[in-house]
């Protein structure tokens, strides 16, 4: 029995936090719930991403300035350190990066914050584009951001399918020029046909969420055949009303269909759950046995290490 399985069996969250893990789906400004950033959402559920975004703005508007941004990023790195995260894909929005005078200034600032909190963390940074923003409005800044050599991946987030998948083909082709990992938020609100379309048109390496693939054997077969990891965030799916309960979460069926799944946090500041909490909940609700969760944990670390070795 490993230390991780023993900690799960004994339901000892502090010991679970000490064990090495990955977190392959964490947003930079909502990735921590510590220090000055008090968790303020114990009961709220959301009907849409837009409703969640409005709630976040209403409750954390005092952190919109430079000092507030610093605290939010600092909290995300501390959340990693406090939960045994050794490899993290942290998503920085295009707006965050462009708020700095230059890419080099942004990189210098992020390194300083990270080193002050989680120096040993292997950070796998991605730039996240918004589903609502047409390619022509972002193409002017791509070469400067990508050529810096720091970004390891791209992602699309925000309200799923706000624009057609076809709109972003040029973005994903540009990412290929720089050997960036191609990721996307899809299959949380959209159906399995949209997942299939995104894989075919964008050449995806990884999917954040992707839970609706469970409703279609063709979608699962494609994901399995192309060995595309799904980074699953159970609490996020429940609070956004995509899944009713932990017990009913489709991660079990995906796992049973030999889909490579990892367990991630998404937005701890909004949903109040760390990766460690997610593992414990999936055990306590009888979704997985401890040995299965340990295997998922190991798989997540392996995916992240391969990701890091192949990047750029």
Token digits for 297?
A: 């944990």
pLDDT value of position 1: 85
Instruction: Assess whether 139 carries a catalytic annotation.
Output: no
pLDDT band at 60 (very low <50, low <70, confident <90, very high): confident
Q: What is the mean pLDDT of residues 226-232?
A: 98
pLDDT bracket for residue 146 (50, 70, 90): very high
Quote the tokens at residue 78: 């501390």
Cα–chain center distance at 110: 18
What Å distances lie between residue 82 and 29, 34, 95, 297, CA to CA? Answer: 17, 10, 28, 16
Mean pLDDT throughout 299-308? 90
What percentage of residues in the chain have a pLDDT greater than 70? Answer: 96
Q: Residue 306: its pLDDT value, please?
A: 85
| pLDDT value of position 65 | 83
- How does residue 61 score in pLDDT terms, banded at 50, 70 and 90? confident
pLDDT at 248 over 60: yes
Per-residue pLDDT at 308? 79
**DSSP states of 194-208:** HHHHHHHHH--S-EE
Q: What is the mean pLDDT of residues 248-264?
A: 98
CATH number, domain containing residue 189: 3.20.20.140
| pLDDT surpasses 60 at 41 | no
CB 124 within 8 A of CB 308: yes
Kindly indicate the confidence band of residue 40, based on its pLDDT and cuts at 50, 70 and 90: low
Looking at 79, 96, 188, 278, which residue is catalytic?
A: 188
- The CA distances from residue 67 to 55, 63, 64, 262, in Å, are 21, 7, 8, 33
pLDDT digits (tens, 9 = 90+) for 261-276: 999 999 999 998 999 9
Residue 90 clears pLDDT 70, i.e. is over it: yes
| C-alpha distances out from residue 13 to 26, 61, 216, Å | 20, 31, 35
| Gap between the Cα atoms of 169 and 109, Å rounded | 31
**Domain enclosing residue 225, as ranges:** 3-310
- Cα(100)–Cα(288) distance, rounded to whole angstroms? 44
- Based on the structure, what is the number of domains in the chain? 1
CB atoms near residue 81 (< 10 Å): 17
Q: What is the pLDDT of residue 10?
A: 97
**Pick from 118-132, 151-165, 294-308: least confident:** 294-308
Identify which of 140, 192, 184 has the alpha carbon closest to the alpha carbon of residue 162: 184
């Amino acid at each position: 029995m490993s230390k991780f399985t023993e900690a799960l069996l004994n339901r000892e969250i502090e010991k679970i936090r000490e064990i090495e893990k990955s977190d392959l789906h964490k947003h930079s400004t909502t990735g921590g719930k510590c220090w000055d950033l008090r968790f303020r959402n114990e009961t709220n559920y959301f009907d849409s991403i837009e409703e969640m975004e409005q709630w976040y703005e209403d409750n954390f508007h005092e952190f919109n300035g430079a000092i507030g941004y610093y605290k939010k990023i600092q909290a995300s790195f501390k959340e990693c350190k406090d939960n045994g995260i050794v490899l993290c894909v942290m998503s920085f929005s295009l707006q965050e990066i462009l708020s700095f005078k230059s890419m080099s200034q942004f990189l210098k600032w992020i390194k300083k914050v990270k080193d002050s909190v989680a120096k040993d963390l292997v950070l796998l940074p991605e730039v996240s584009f918004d589903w609502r923003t047409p390619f022509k409005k972002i193409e002017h800044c791509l070469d400067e951001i990508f050529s810096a050599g720091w970004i390891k991946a791209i992602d699309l987030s925000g309200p799923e399918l706000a624009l057609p998948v076809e709109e972003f083909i040029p973005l994903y082709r540009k990412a290929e020029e720089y050997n960036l990992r191609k990721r996307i938020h899809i299959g949380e609100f959209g159906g399995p046909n949209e997942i299939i379309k995104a894989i075919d048109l964008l050449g995806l390496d990884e999917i954040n969420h992707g839970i609706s693939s469970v409703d279609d054997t063709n979608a699962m077969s494609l994901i399995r055949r192309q060995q595309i990891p799904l980074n699953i965030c159970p609490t996020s799916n429940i609070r956004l009303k995509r899944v009713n309960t932990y017990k009913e979460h489709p991660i079990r069926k995906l796992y049973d269909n030999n889909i490579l799944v990892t367990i991630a946090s998404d937005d701890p500041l909004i949903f109040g759950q760390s990766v460690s909490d997610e593992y414990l909940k999936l055990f306590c609700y009888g979704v997985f046995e401890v040995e299965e969760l340990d295997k998922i944990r190991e798989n997540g670390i392996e995916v992240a290490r391969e990701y890091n070795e192949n990047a750029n």
